[in-house]
Structure 1
Amino acid sequence: MSFKELNEVETIQGNEGTIIRQLFHPHNTLDGIRYSIAHFTLNEGKKSTKHKLKSSEVYYFLKGNGIIHVDNTSFKVKSGSVIYVPPMSPQHVENTGSENLEFLCIVDPAWKQDDEFIIK
């Protein structure tokens, strides 16, 4: 079993104005899970880098307002919104609200840097 408090998890500063907290990942979980889950904070007026992953992703939005762009479709998101993103789908998230946009991202199989492709 593994237990964590969000505010005690080390933060990683993303290039695009995101603060990332890797909650559970096979490399930091004793139970040997195959997925990863991270908490993201996207600052007001910022957007994440357009990218695609070899893995599938589920985004669950906790706070704020924004837009998630997947393939050629855009969805308005707010607290309680959830979206499944198939593998290799170009995507990015945009904070359109007046506060930070917070969300969880579950990646299965777990996120690996070699499996992520930045789109310019």
Structure 2
Amino acid sequence: MIVSHKDNVKEKRINNPEVKDALMKVLISPKEGWEGHVMRVFELGEGGHTPRHTHPWPHINYIIKGEGVLHLEGEDKEIKAGSFAYVPAGKLHQFMNKGKETLEFICIVPEEGHK
């Protein structure tokens, strides 16, 4: 069991040449008792993005703040605070910040999807 706040979680800068200005915080994982899943918060700075990629697991996303684009299988979908998305396994996707403020979103993946 855990009750905390994201401000109490240490952030990790994503160092990857295909990523720009991205931070991740792991909020809940098997370490906190949620077997099989991991809930993370990502923050993309102005102009920041995740890599355009695929992987063999799905994920669920909820946009906390900011605005941007979710590229999903060749289509760009506008996202903003309150938007949510299910990205199926094996689908090409990328999150991009298109606003002036940080794009912040929750990403929940199966345990094998967290690196």
| TM-score for the superposition, normalised by structure 1 | 0.85
- Corresponding letter in the other structure for 1:23: L
Structure 2 residue identity aligned to 1:33 = E
Tell me the amino acid that sits aligned with residue 95 of structure 1: N
Following TM superposition, by how much is the alpha carbon of 1:32 offset from its aligned partner in structure 2, in angstroms? 4.2
Residues 71-90 of structure 1 aligned to structure 2 (within 5 Å): 71-90=73-92
User: Cα distance, 1:4 vs. partner?
Assistant: 2.2
Query: How much has 1:109 moved relative to structure 2?
Result: 4.7
The answer to whether 1:63 aligns with 2:65 is yes
In structure 2, the CA distance between the partners of 1:72 and 1:66, relative to structure 1 (3 Å rule), is same
Point out 4+ residue stretches in structure 1 off by more than 6 angstroms: none
- AA of the residue aligned to 1:4: S
Letter aligned with residue 6 of structure 2 = L
- Aligned with 1:7: secondary structure? helix
Choose which of 86, 94, 108 in structure 2 pairs with 1:92: 94
What is the number of equivalent residue pairs in this alignment? Answer: 111
The equivalent residue for 1:117 is none
What percentage of residue pairs aligned between the two structures are identical? 27
For residue 60 of structure 2, give the secondary structure of its aligned residue in structure 1: strand
Q: Where in structure 2 are the equivalents of 1:1-120 lying within 5 Å?
A: 1-15=1-15, 16=19, 17-26=21-30, 28-29=31-32, 31-113=33-115
Q: Distance in 1 between matches of 2:85 and 2:99?
A: 19
Return the letter of the residue paired with 1:52.
T
Amino acid paired to 2:81: S
Give me the CA root mean square deviation: 1.4
| Shift of residue 111, structure 1, vs aligned partner | 2.1
Task: Point out where structure 2 has 5 or more consecutive residues left out of the alignment.
Answer: none
Q: Is the 8 A contact 1:55 1:109 kept in 2?
A: no
Segment drifting more, 92-101 vs 8-17:
8-17
Change (3 A) 1:71 1:7: same
